[in-house]
Chains A and B, each alone.
Chain A
């Protein structure tokens, strides 16, 4: 039987696991290096190359991938940054060629609505379930377990068993 202490314990262990996972660092496989005229450009290069997804190798960003297309996109990103393009302009340029797909953080729109709202909805659902389970078990405890009628049935079952 799940009681509230058991639930509190499992929540604690889940939180610990999440904390550990969030500490894991993302490693960047930088393949070629570019000389930037300022460190803020380099900072933006890092940010954008992590957000842009490699179209060929779909589970990597262009900073991680060694596919030819990812190299091309990194070069392009470097050129555009040095030419003074804004983040918005660069992302628009990429999206107009490769589709919204190329961003790991797609724009909030009708197509991506599910993508953005699903985690929130699932979290809310989980919280509701958690609370109803907690309340149910507390009620059970308050009622002192089982009723006299249930106890009688239980005794009978045990008797039959032996």
Chain B
């Protein structure tokens, strides 16, 4: 019995090491959004490059993506071609131009192409704040009722699209079709 007691530290170490190894594999940025299953917040903001305003009811009604982007965001440039490809396939993506300069943002879209149905001009970051955005890029999946169903922090690429976003998107499309 007292011999067994000698193994207690070893046992504790193994348990602790197990937790730490698990901790190493977790990405601390992958936090569930506080807005999952909450409605997309109300807003009324200008449309980038147009002289008009857009509000929540103008952009909800079908399953779509909301991509938070900015010209100061380097990763946004990385994911841009992939978003363009998705848009070319007919996937509805709305842009949230987050805390950016309009001129620079329009130049960006001119040069790199515009994958967005429209870009909401969020200069002050107020919509970003209501969405719980803490950096760019972030991509929100919103269902046909305007409820936020998923948030992806970071670049959207082939792996993320095939592994996570596409299956969820398809699921929501099916859900919308059955209603």
Binding site for B on A (CB under 8 A): 55-56, 58, 67-69, 72, 76, 95-99, 101
Contact = CB atoms under 8 A, between A and B. Distances in A.
Contact of B99 (A55, A56, A68, A97): A68
21 contacts: A55-B31, A56-B134, A58-B28, A67-B135, A68-B125, A69-B133, A69-B134, A69-B135, A72-B129, A76-B129, A96-B34, A97-B130, A97-B132, A98-B132, A98-B134, A99-B31, A99-B32, A99-B33, A99-B34, A99-B132, A101-B31
B146 to A, nearest CB: 17
Measured as residues with beta carbon below 8 angstroms from the partner, the interface class of chain B is 10 to 19
Contacts of B32: 99
Nearest to B99: A68
B106 interface: no
Contacts of A97: 34-35, 129-132
Residue in B125, B131, B134 with the greatest tally of chain A CB atoms within 10 Å: B134
Contacts of B132: 55, 97-99
Nearest to A58: B28
B13 to A, nearest CB: 15
Interface in B13-59: 28, 31-35
Nearest to A98: B132
Interface string B128-149: 0111111100000000000000
Nearest to B124: A72
A68 B98 CA distance: 11
A55 B34 contact: no
A95 B38 CA distance: 14
Contact of B134 (A55, A95, A96): A55
Interface string B116-128: 0000000001000
Nearest to A72: B125
B167 to A, nearest CB: 24
Given A68-B99, A76-B129, A95 B34 contact: yes
B31 to A, nearest CB: 6
Nearest to A73: B129
Nearest to B125: A72
Contacts of A72: 125, 129
Nearest to A69: B134
A67 B73 CA distance: 13
Contact of B135 (A56, A76, A98): A56
Given A55-B31, A72-B125, A97-B131, 18 more contacts: A55-B132, A55-B134, A56-B135, A68-B125, A69-B135, A72-B129, A95-B34, A96-B34, A97-B34, A97-B35, A97-B129, A97-B130, A98-B34, A98-B134, A99-B31, A99-B33, A99-B34, A101-B31
